[in-house]
Structure 1
Amino acid sequence: MCIFAKKLCLKTKLVLALYFVSALSIAQTARKYSNEFMNIGVDAAALGMSNAVVSHTNDVTSGYWNPAGLVHLEDNQLALMHSSYFANIANYNFIAYAMPIDDRSAVGISLIRFGVDDILDTTQLIDEQGNINYDRINTFSAADYGVVFSYARKLPLDGLNYGVNAKVIRRIIGDFATSWGFGLDVGIQFETKNNWKFGLMARDITTTFNTWTFNEEKFESISGAIEGQNQELPETTEITIPKLQLGMSKEFIFNYDYSLRAAFDLNVRFAQTNDIVSTDFASINPALGFQFGYTDLVFLRAGLGNFQNELQIDNSTDMTFQPNFGVGFKYKGISIDYAFTDIGDQSAALYSNVFSLKLDFSIFR
């Protein structure tokens, strides 16, 4: 029993060590995937359209997608969203509130949490004398938090709006490590007289900095499980490079009651990735979304995105993509939306169910 427990403890330490080191190794240089939880997306309505919403977003969730869209608010709004990933191991939650200041400006605040809770910490299971005490097993969470403060305003040119985000990032890995980060986003929207809409969202325009602090004693208790290895603490500064999202959309009305919105976005990273268009300077990933509506009451949505050149075993590459589907219902200021989204590509079996709720305070007036 003692030998088995020691092996279990050693294995758990090794898993924790690998998790901890991999989670923090991104702090060493500017990374193309840093703070990726801020890029997952919010609102089942947007996810159902494969996130192709930067040009026409116009509600409380605009604080995330493009703060310029907040100027379209006519009253205060509240949004909630929940989704689970990786067989309910990780939970992703979002809450936002926005309000118009006057007929030309608006403000909002958004909170995002992505975390894995109740992770077993067995690093203290066996004491120095080799005794096992299951009461020494603790649990911890690895969670990322993002708080976004948004401001939007209409410009003198008719149809042109801008918005800015100031965001604070908080990342916590139990008692092992924590970090604080800060960054800025800028968004623009423009609508032509024939109802074509264009949008630009520049994320992390100043590069987002995360500063880490480590519990060296905790770190040593993990890294000591890897015999013959001298694990060093990662660097304390993490830098997130800028990203761009450009989009265009148009809504078509049929027989007064039926509508069709088509949207096309380009997601640009200034790094070489597996995106369908990839160069040393930048990589581009397109997204296409559709929304069919009936009397502004019921909505059906579909989208394609996340086009990747996936490397196969024989060193060939196949193009994969991520399909999304969704439905929505809106009545007297209450919007309930659902999205069925593949978090990877169409060949994977891991699908997520996303639910969101939006409430317009006009129903109380």
Structure 2
Amino acid sequence: MKKSLLIISCLFTLLSNSQTIRKYSNEFLSIGVDAAALGMSNAVTAQTSDVNSGYWNPAGLLKLEDKQFSLMHANYFANIAQYDYAGFAMPIDDRSALGVSLIRFGVDDILNTTQLIDNQGNIDYNRISLFSTADYALTVSYARKLPLDGINYGVNAKVIHRIIGDFASSWGFGFDIGIQYESDNEWLFGLMLRDITTTYNTWIINEEEYQKIKDAVPGENQELPETSEVTLPKAQLGIAKKYIFRYDYSLTAAANLNMQFARTNDIISSDIVSIDPALGFEFGYVDLVFLRAGVGNFQKITQIDDSNKLSFQPNIGLGFKYKGIQVDYALTDLGDQSAALYSNIFSLKVDFDVFR
């Protein structure tokens, strides 16, 4: 009972202790999609070119030749949290493309024991119920070629819905814009600007339910949480190059600079911008088998003696592609290599060209 009350109370404490401008709002949108990209430590801003480009850089949708859809499922925190993604994209004509995707990150079947004990001290287990806390993001992507050779751009419009059972819910809206450029010598460059107008979330607190947990933790949750939050802009700058060896072998090398416009624990940090680099590699054989590796999430961690330790996150992955059907696997986690258990990520991508 105490554990369930504490979970509910903590959810509200996170809301109430944050300021109106929350630098880390909607962080579930920073996890990433597609096991192929996760295996390369998300260093795909420049070369993404499939249905998952709606997430990584919508400009990449213009490289689609036919309709595609993608699915991904992952478990985090010892299977407590479920992360699901589905995407669909299609070319409109030779100069534009359209995509739509849905992300859900949630914890289900949380015990609600706020009504277990009544005012008289009587215990009734029939008053125990279950609830979920979940974050949803629906994204519509549009991409178009510019009159300049080799330059494409794309725009995302996203709707965010977050719920904490019957206790609270929020709606948010935001926009992203992405650009890709391919040089004459086949170097690829990409820029992704997330939440360019800042993304606003407005919370609706169920005051009746809130009163039931107000005193769950003494001294906490005495006032209603803030009802608005703002996600600050982020940027990813990428570069990539694909090399072909003896016709059958390929090697794609990619690098990203992930930027947040605030001071963080990233390896490069200032009051104006903080930068976290990421490197990714993909080795392919006859466009059939792929081996991937990457390293990223470089963080400076302050030790108990005030010294700094450099932390990083390595990832690996494997993929198979046959007649338009691609299955990918990645071994990754949400933080650095020592902060959380690694998770096995699987994703499926189908190119409708296989049905022609």
TM-score range, shorter chain: over 0.9
Alignment partner, residue 247 of structure 2 = 256
Using the TM superposition, give the Cα deviation of residue 230 of structure 1 relative to its aligned residue in structure 2, in angstroms.
Answer: 6.1
**Cα shift readout 1:267-295 (whole Å, capped 9, x = no counterpart):** 00000000000001110000000000000
Using the TM superposition, give the Cα deviation of residue 10 of structure 1 relative to its aligned residue in structure 2, in angstroms.
Answer: 5.0
Using the TM superposition, give the Cα deviation of residue 337 of structure 1 relative to its aligned residue in structure 2, in angstroms.
Answer: 0.1
Mapped partners of 1:228, 1:267: distance in 2: 39
Alignment partner, residue 6 of structure 1 = none
**Partners of 1:323 and 1:342 within 8 A in 2:** no
**Cα shift readout 1:31-80 (whole Å, capped 9, x = no counterpart):** 22110001100000000000000000000000000000000000000000
Q: TM-score, normalised by structure 2?
A: 0.98
Alignment partner, residue 337 of structure 1 = 328
Mapped partners of 1:231, 1:99: distance in 2: 50
Using the TM superposition, give the Cα deviation of residue 345 of structure 1 relative to its aligned residue in structure 2, in angstroms.
Answer: 1.4
Using the TM superposition, give the Cα deviation of residue 156 of structure 1 relative to its aligned residue in structure 2, in angstroms.
Answer: 1.1
Alignment partner, residue 65 of structure 2 = 74
Which one of 68, 71, 89 corresponds to residue 98 of structure 1?
Answer: 89
Which one of 28, 33, 38 corresponds to residue 24 of structure 2?
Answer: 33
Using the TM superposition, give the Cα deviation of residue 225 of structure 1 relative to its aligned residue in structure 2, in angstroms.
Answer: 2.2
Alignment partner, residue 13 of structure 1 = 5
Q: TM-score, normalised by structure 1?
A: 0.95
Mapped partners of 1:64, 1:300: distance in 2: 22
Q: Does 1:273 align with 2:273?
A: no
Code of the residue aligned with 1:178 in structure 2: it is S
Which one of 103, 114, 128 corresponds to residue 119 of structure 2?
Answer: 128
Using the TM superposition, give the Cα deviation of residue 346 of structure 1 relative to its aligned residue in structure 2, in angstroms.
Answer: 2.2
Using the TM superposition, give the Cα deviation of residue 11 of structure 1 relative to its aligned residue in structure 2, in angstroms.
Answer: 5.4
**Partners of 2:12 and 2:221 within 8 A in 1:** no
Q: 3-state DSSP class of the match of 2:222?
A: coil
Q: Percent identity?
A: 68
**Partners of 2:103 and 2:136 within 8 A in 1:** yes
Alignment partner, residue 14 of structure 2 = 22
Alignment partner, residue 48 of structure 1 = 39
Computed over aligned residues only, the root mean square deviation of the Cα atoms, in angstroms, reads 1.2
Mapped partners of 1:12, 1:179: distance in 2: 22
> Which structure 1 residue ranges, 5 or more long, are not aligned?
1-8
Using the TM superposition, give the Cα deviation of residue 227 of structure 1 relative to its aligned residue in structure 2, in angstroms.
Answer: 3.3
Which one of 141, 149, 159 corresponds to residue 158 of structure 1?
Answer: 149
Query: Comparing 57-66 with 17-26, which one deviates more in the overlay?
Result: 17-26
Following superposition of structure 1 onto structure 2, how do residues 164-175 of structure 1 map, counting pairs within 5 Å?
164-175=155-166
Alignment partner, residue 5 of structure 1 = none
Mapped partners of 2:106, 2:319: distance in 1: 27
Alignment partner, residue 85 of structure 1 = 76
Q: 3-state DSSP class of the match of 2:223?
A: coil
Using the TM superposition, give the Cα deviation of residue 24 of structure 1 relative to its aligned residue in structure 2, in angstroms.
Answer: 5.5
**Cα shift readout 1:108-152 (whole Å, capped 9, x = no counterpart):** 000000000000000001122221111110000000000000000
**Cα shift readout 1:83-123 (whole Å, capped 9, x = no counterpart):** 11000000100000001000110000000000000000000
Alignment partner, residue 59 of structure 1 = 50
Which 4+ stretches in 1 moved above 6 angstroms? none
Q: 3-state DSSP class of the match of 1:30?
A: coil
**Partners of 2:77 and 2:341 within 8 A in 1:** yes
Mapped partners of 1:134, 1:232: distance in 2: 29
CA gap 1:250/1:24 in 2 versus in 1, 3 angstroms: farther
Mapped partners of 2:219, 2:131: distance in 1: 27
CA gap 1:300/1:16 in 2 versus in 1, 3 angstroms: same
